[in-house]
Amino acid sequence: MAATATDNKLSNLKSAVAGLNQISENEKKGFINLVSRYLSGEAQHVEWSKIQTPTDEVVVPYESLAPTPDGSSEVKSLLDKLVVLKLNGGLGTTMGCTGPKSVIEVRDGLTFLDLIVIQIENLNSKYGSNVPLLLMNSFNTHDDTQKIIEKYKNSNIQIHTFNQSQYPRLVVDDFLPLPSKGHTGKDGWYPPGHGDVFPSLSNSGKLDALLSQGKEYVFVANSDNLGAIVDLKILNHLVKNKNEYCMEVTPKTLADVKGGTLISYEGRVQLLEIAQVPDEHVSEFKSIEKFKIFNTNNLWVNLKAIKRLVEADALKTEIIPNPKEVDGVKVLQLETAAGAAIRFFDKAIGINVPRSRFLPVKATSDLLLVQSDLYTLEDGFVIRNKARANPENPTVELGPEFKKVSNFLSRFKSIPSIVELDSLKVAGDVWFGPGIILKGKVSIVAKPGVKLEIPDGAVIANKEINGPEDL
């Protein structure tokens, strides 16, 4: 794009954004910054030949970490350096729920947020520490979250909330903000991805407050990842080695081929996402042999380093353009991801963690796994059943009839036993009675117009069922 055309676009956009009184000056500045970077075309191209596989110094095997210190006073002093931050900006809409996703009930009547609070409460009680919980909300989840956290006010845990930025969606045709064209509702705005966590932590005043309390590290994770619990071995390693940033990675399975991976590039550790990969190398990127690990989005970051880099405006992470449509108008939202910031921090590392630290619940198929006998709940931790021999979880594919949580719950009288299951496919008008056991490879696909009821206590092993006659 010619410089003058770009300059015109930017100056028109600046004027329009200046008139948006729903957002702060920091948000306006951050947004204009993001758009000007996007327009300058500073997309980061990776030279394929320069990519190197990281060594064990860069991506540290979890097994090689030193054991946690024995004395509870040493553990307390470690924990007193820590803050836990959960990304809480997402809604439960994809699972048919209203409000923040973190208030979906996961197990035994407890929500994601309940489990997070119980876990940190137990840590603080056990060691006499004071690990606070921060929730980064979006404008979509803020009001509901403020009401929900009231129920934790008597717990031994400080809960702080702050909002990530609110940016206007850009109209593709003329590059002006959608809200300045009469779209004053929520659909004129968007939260710009979790890469915004660092500037928002700073803009909210929370970063300085935490530093003044002697906090040193923040553990950032998605609120729907049940495996993202505080790990003392990781924290101990980072404090000892003065690492400014650590990304937890875990071995890829075939289900994870699109996840970003860590590479060594020009002397620094860097996240490589599928969007950055030249077309001719995409199949190589997806191969489990060459790129064996992927990003869990469990991140440990030094607070002083965040302050230094945010104040220097140095976190110029890759921009992810996300095209959308609002009432027939084509719009663009520019986003960034927190994992991409790894290359700006000193002594940044990955740690290759066990798969148990990555247990996200993105759909009702994941809910089926965590509500089943594959897992138990102890002190707020979801722990895998040792009776299952296979280290990998079964693959579960549920049809659209099960997509919403309410439908899912009504179609299962109780969750079947799946300790010996390899794969499950369910589609059509299928209903499950209580006490069912599924083993091996099971496919239950009801014919159109047929209501298929799986009887109480049925044991189904390595079977394909399409109608009552197959039971």
Binding positions for substrate are 194
Partners of 383 in the β-ladder: 376
In the 8-state DSSP scheme, what is residue 60?
Answer: E
Sheet with 159-163: list strands edge to edge: 59-61, 349-352, 245-251, 293-302, 217-222, 82-88, 133-137, 159-163
Residue ranges of alpha helices (H) inside 3-56 are 3-18, 25-39
Q: Are 433 and 412 in contact (CB under 8 A)?
A: no
Distance between CA 262 and CA 248 in Å, rounded?
10
The Cα–Cα gap between 223 and 297 comes to 11
Known binding-site residue numbers: 101, 164, 193-194, 224, 362
Q: How far apart are CA 150 and CA 24, in angstroms?
A: 27
Query: Residue 158 class from Cβ within 10 Å (0-12 exposed, 13-18 middle, 19+ buried)?
Result: middle
Alpha helices (runs of H) in 40-141, residue ranges in sequence order: 72-79, 112-127
Instruction: Compute the distance between CA of residue 292 and CA of residue 400 in angstroms, rounded to an integer.
Output: 32
Known binding residues for UTP are 101, 164, 193, 224, 362
Nearest to 238 by CA among 302, 290, 315, 159: 302
**CA dist list (Å): 337 to 30, 76, 107:** 15, 32, 29
What gap in Å lies between CA 368 and CA 407, rounded to an integer?
13
- Phi/psi region, residue 370 (left: phi>0; alpha: psi -120 to 50; beta: rest), is alpha
| Helix/strand/coil for 109 | coil
Q: Are strands 329-335 and 170-171 parallel, antiparallel or unpaired?
A: antiparallel
Residue 198, token pair as written in the block? 């660092």
**Which amino acid, 75?**
V
Q: What is the 3-state secondary structure (H, E, C) of 331-392?
A: EEEEECCHHHHHHHCCCCEEEECCHHHCCECCCHHHHHHHHCCCEEEECCEEEECCCCCCCC
3-state SS, residue 137: strand
Distance, first Cα to last Cα, the chain: 64
